[in-house]
Amino acid sequence: MQYALVNGVRSQAQKGLEGVCELCNSKVIAKCGDIVVHHWSHYTIKDCDKWWESETIWHRDWKNRFPEDYREVIFKNDSTKEIHRADIYTPTGVTVEFQHSCISNDERLLRELFYNNLIWVVDGSRRTNEYKRFQKKSHYLSSYYKDKKDIFQVSNIEDLLPSYWTDCSVPVIFDFMSITDKIEFASTKGFLFCIFPQRVGLNAIVAKISVRSFIKSIVDGEWGANCSKFI
């Protein structure tokens, strides 16, 4: 957790501080060691977000690419009384969730139903073999849309990307960047690969997107319009 309330002010963790969780109003303490990312920790999390997970450096680095007021936005469902903390939520209504660890299909579906206009960003570097498979099967990306060199129709999408992400109802973006420093992976360095929920017949739609253009489209409020126009 990146933010908590300290004397009523939304603050990042600093050594020696105590605060209050914005979600559950419980006391939290700043954890600022040398190994894990600085964060706020509950004394107990039994009454807080059931979708909570430990935050990695990858996760925090992604959040820090967006304005502070977009980060860790509280969502409340008045009818079900559910309360959750979105990684990123924009003024134009786009939610971005960064996912490093594995989650169950049931939880994934619940999050897609709960959040508005969700985009998953998945850490593709967590398992090196998955990226190696992606590289090996990248010939599946050879079928281009006319005049759109970075948008592809892909058959056998499960051979290219992890199957537990290929049937989502929202866009899923794979981030392989932290393992693309080697020369053999140079062609994908600095790029993200997005699979859309729509299909062309039995073929999936995959787009190659630069990190800069993805972030800009979210911050500038252009993502929704661009996707609608494309689809």
Question: Quick check: 180 pLDDT over 60?
Answer: no
19-53: per-residue pLDDT in tens?
999 988 889 999 988 777 888 988 876 668 888 88
First to last CA, the chain: 35
pLDDT band at 164 (very low <50, low <70, confident <90, very high): confident
pLDDT at 228: 72
Mean pLDDT score, 147-153: 77
Q: What rounded mean pLDDT belongs to the chain?
A: 85
Q: Per mean pLDDT, which range of 68-82, 117-131, 144-158, 192-206 is the poorest? A: 144-158
Q: Which residues pair with 88 in a beta bridge?
A: 71, 96
| Burial classification of residue 163, based on how many CB atoms lie within 10 Å of its CB (0-12 exposed, 13-18 middle, 19 or more buried) | exposed
Residues 136/137/143/148 CA torsion (nearest 10 deg): -60
Q: Please give the Cα distance from 78 to 156 (Å, whole number).
A: 41
